Structure 1
Amino acid sequence: MFTPIKNTTVSEKVVEQIKEMLLRGNLNKGDKLPSERQMAETLEVSRSSVREALKELEIMGLIESKQGEGNFIKDNFEDILFEPFSTFFLIKESNAEEILELRNVIEKGTAVLAAERITMEELEDIKNILTTSENSRSEDELAKLDVIFHYKIAQASKNFLLQSILNAVSSLIEASIKDIRKNIMIEEKHKEIIKAQHLDIYKALESHNPKASEKAMTDHLNFVNNEMKKSII
């Protein structure tokens, strides 16, 4: 399964070989890796090089170490981007406008794909979110439902990369939605506008109309963006 390595950058070569095996399907999610000793013997490298490579792979989020069991390929890779993205945005101190621009780019795309791929079960989930929102008077609950509404659409896109990017910046988007609601929900008419826009998005998804879904999402995000700018000025 493994091939011998003879190079000065040994640990990097070990990392590259394991990544290549994942791409080719020789290793799959949840697979247990051989022991450090077995890998060192097969690859003809030192155990310290293998150990260093395994640490690098764990930092990347590709493998996980289970106490007393060994090293495994992770069952899911959805959080691979989370730490580097979160750290980057924390250092960069991205402002509300940048986050809204990011949402605009990502969520219009997910709405288009979701319209084509959404299932009846997913539509029912989104409908239930809207029904619960309609009956709720708690702003905390409404903010949480708002976040879930947008994530459900991303999931319905069936695009793993888009979902991963959205997950990677999830804390920022959640904070963004809470800030938006805090700033623009002071006026009762804004609450009704947001509810109506969410319903328009749902109806467009229900009709499996990509253009209508994109327009409904665009109208919603443009409204939010414009109102946020007014509150900042």
Structure 2
Amino acid sequence: MADQPARAWQLVLEHIERDLLDGRIGPGDHLPSERELATTLGVGRSSVREAFRVLEVLGLIRTSTGSGPQSGAIVIATPTGGMSALLRLQVAAQGFPLDDVVRTRLVLEDAVVTAIAASASRDTARTHQLLDAMDATDLTPADFLALDAQLHLSLAEASGNTVIAAMMAGLRSSIESYVQAGVVAIADWPAMATRLRTEHRALVAAIDAADVETSRTLVHDHITGYYTSAGLTRGIHSQN
């Protein structure tokens, strides 16, 4: 069967992608107006608007009405939201098996702790604040796990790699419902919370001590331990 012709809005996306790749436009630049793109590409303005909506949902541009310098469609410098949203939607739609998501998280978290522990300018101040917040004795399991997610994301952000941070944000939020649901499979939640606190502090201490190998081992065991205890995976024990 012959390939279906591209929809008009897809032609607009391809045109903008080429301009980005060729350096004709970049972060902070305005895209051509709807009228200009429609005339250049021979498509309707409604198709241009549809392409703009897709780009905005993906976090690549922001749009604003009016006539000032901030009006129109502007390329965003750090489009992390789109990647996170895409990962969340794919996992929610069961586009990715949960075990594969967890394995990917292991790869990313390994890269995160390796980068921070090996850095001479590491900054774990935000992570330490979250460690202290997780020591509160009146936290519900949901509150505790929300702080847990923030702690791991704080490490990803501290790694300095914006792509990894965006992917981590998407993976963490996409499996949040599974993590929360896993609480019911844990017979003794207070004991689990104590265990997780201890593991977190040991991990951050290893990172602060620039101990790369210990950091890698601890983050792997920490993640696989919780998912296995909560019955969320078939058991992922290997470490590259």
Q: How high is the TM-score relative to the length of structure 1?
A: 0.77
Output the CA distance in 2 between the equivalents of 1:77 and 1:87. 17
1:19 equivalent in structure 2: 17
Count of matched residue pairs:
221
User: For 1:182-197, what aligned pairs fall within 5 Å after superposition?
Assistant: 182-184=184-186, 186-197=188-199
Distance 1:141 1:11 in 2: 43
User: Is 1:134 aligned to residue 111 of structure 2?
Assistant: no
Distance in 2 (alpha carbons) for counterparts of 1:59 and 1:229: 37
Identity of aligned residues (%): 18
* Poorly superposed stretches of 4+, deviation over 4 Å: 8-14, 93-99
Q: Name stretches of at least 5 consecutive residues in structure 2 with no aligned partner.
A: 1-5, 235-240
| Shift in Å, 1:22 | 2.1
C-alpha distance after superposition, 1:11-31 (max 9, x if no partner): 655433322332344322232
Residue of structure 2 in register with 1:81 after alignment? 83
Residues 129, 83 of structure 1: alpha-carbon distance in 2 compared, 3 angstrom cutoff: closer
Contact 1:115 1:210 in 2 (8 A): yes
Bigger helix share = 1
Contact 2:30–2:73 at 8 Å: present in 1 too?
A: yes
Measured after TM superposition, the shift of residue 85 of structure 1 is 2.8
Question: 1:124 — aligned with what?
Answer: 125
Q: Is 1:46 equivalent to 2:42 in the alignment?
A: yes
Give the aligned CA root-mean-square deviation in angstroms.
3.2
Write the distance in 1 (CA, Å) between the matches of 2:7 and 2:193.
58
- Aligned-pair distance for 1:202? 0.3
Pairwise CA distance, 1:199: 0.7
Asked if 2 retains the 8 angstrom alpha-carbon contact of 1:36 and 1:47, the reply is no
Matching of residue 37 in structure 1 with residue 32 in structure 2: no
Q: Aligned partner of 1:63: which letter?
A: I
Give, as a single letter, the amino acid of the residue that structure 1 aligns with 2:36.
Q
Aligned match of 1:204 in 203, 206, 212?
A: 206
Asked whether the 8 Å contact 1:108–1:214 carries over to 2, the reply is yes
Q: Which AA in structure 1 matches 2:163? A: L
Judge conservation of contact 1:22–1:28 (CA < 8 Å) in 2. Answer: yes
- Note the C-alpha offset of 1:185: 6.8
Q: What's the CA shift string for 1:140-163, capped at 9, x where partnerless? A: 432221111111111122222222
Contact persistence 2:130–2:151 (CA under 8 A): yes
